[in-house]
């Protein structure tokens, strides 16, 4: 496949290197073809950069903007040379492919799929109105901006030839993609640690406010449940008291019933004894009269 799948602008990532301040740059991925193209961005220093997004699908004749953020340096490099590199892999995918379908196997060359690779260099730039660095006797000294050109002309014989620098840079750019993948801690997962301090603070405050609202909601729910539990306990207490009263009433009624039954038995026994006595007296009188 002769035509390029993606046109990448710019071809070099330039970051303003200033101590304790992050720097961001934008990369535009242009798909001039009539195919859907999936891309994946890797870096040799995943802990140093934040890339959003790292993967995606670009529709035909469309573009995708990628924001690359470099974390803040504690101290700016004295030589302003950076050997970090980025690798942009792209391949044609069928229409209807989603971001969730993008996996590492999609960019494997041994699968017979054409995978285009573009390497991007990282260039560090001094901030505006910042003293430039000029070599002197093997060390670096700070030179005011207005004296930079004169210092370069005077010390041109002491500066390392640009050809050597270009050779080293080209050598770093031609590093195999396998080495790039080996240096990554997570494949296609660049940690989002390069966010500005203020943004992180706002996110933490927003998260804290959300947690407080959730705690208030849970507390109100617990209060409602507690009130319901108190009502239930009072109902059970009242039912227990009524049950005890009913039990006492039943016990008294049972005792009264037993006492009435005993009296009734006694009343039934007197007539029978009286009959027996009358019968005995009658038999005695009859015997006496017959004699």
pLDDT of residue 78: 73
Q: What is the mean pLDDT of residues 261-271?
A: 61
pLDDT of residue 1: 53
pLDDT of residue 121: 94
Q: What is the mean pLDDT of residues 192-220?
A: 70
Helices (H), the chain: 148-154, 162-173, 177-183, 197-290
pLDDT digit string (tens) for 45-88? 999 999 999 999 999 999 999 999 999 877 777 778 889 999 99
Q: Quick one: 7-127+161-195 is in which CATH superfamily?
A: Immunoglobulins (2.60.40.10)
> Is the pLDDT confidence value at 218 over 70?
yes
Asked if residue 10 has a cis previous peptide bond (ω within 30° of 0), the answer is yes
- Mean pLDDT is lowest, of 1-5, 30-34, 120-124, 128-132, for 128-132
Tell me the CA distances in angstroms from 180 to 3, 144, 238, one per residue in order.
Answer: 25, 38, 76
Kindly state the percentage of the chain with pLDDT values over 90.
Answer: 32
Residue 43 or 153, more confident: 43
Residue 263's pLDDT band, with cuts at 50, 70 and 90, is low
pLDDT of residue 267: 55
Q: What is the mean pLDDT of residues 162-180?
A: 42
pLDDT of residue 158: 39
Q: What is the mean pLDDT of residues 195-209?
A: 66
Tell me the CA distances in angstroms from 100 to 104, 106, 107, 116, 197, one per residue in order.
Answer: 12, 12, 14, 21, 30
Nearby residues of 176 by Cβ (< 8 Å), 6 or more positions away: none
For the chain, domain boundaries: 7-127+161-195, 196-264
- Tokens for 64, please give them: 């995708």
pLDDT of residue 276: 85
Q: What is the mean pLDDT of residues 158-172?
A: 41
């Amino acid at each position: 496949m002769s035509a390029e799948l993606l046109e990448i602008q710019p071809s070099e990532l330039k970051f303003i290197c200033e101590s304790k301040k992050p720097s961001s740059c934008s990369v535009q991925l242009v798909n001039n073809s009539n195919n859907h193209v999936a891309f994946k961005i890797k870096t040799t220093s995943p802990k140093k950069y934040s890339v959003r997004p790292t993967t995606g699908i670009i529709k035909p004749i469309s573009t995708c903007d990628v924001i690359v953020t470099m974390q803040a340096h504690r101290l700016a490099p004295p030589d302003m040379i950076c050997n970090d590199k980025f690798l942009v892999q792209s391949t044609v995918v069928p229409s209807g492919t989603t971001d969730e379908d993008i996996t590492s196997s999609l960019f494997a060359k041994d699968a017979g799929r054409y995978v285009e690779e573009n390497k991007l260099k990282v260039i560090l730039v001094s901030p505006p109105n910042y003293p430039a660095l000029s070599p002197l006797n093997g060390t670096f000294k700070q030179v005011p901006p207005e004296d930079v050109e004169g210092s370069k002309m005077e010390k041109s014989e002491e500066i390392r030839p640009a050809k050597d620098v270009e050779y080293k840079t080209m050598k770093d750019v031609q590093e195999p993609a396998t080495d790039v993948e080996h240096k990554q801690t997570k494949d296609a997962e660049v940690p989002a640690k390069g966010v500005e301090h203020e943004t992180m603070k706002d996110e933490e405050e927003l998260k804290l406010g959300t947690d407080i609202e959730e705690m208030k909601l849970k507390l109100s729910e617990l209060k409602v449940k507690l009130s319901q539990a108190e009502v239930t306990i009072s109902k059970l207490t009242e039912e227990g008291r009524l049950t005890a009263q009913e039990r006492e009433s039943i016990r008294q009624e049972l005792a009264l019933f037993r006492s009435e039954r005993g009296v009734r038995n006694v009343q039934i026994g007197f007539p029978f004894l009286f009959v027996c006595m009358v019968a005995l007296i009658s038999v005695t009188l009859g015997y006496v009269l017959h004699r």
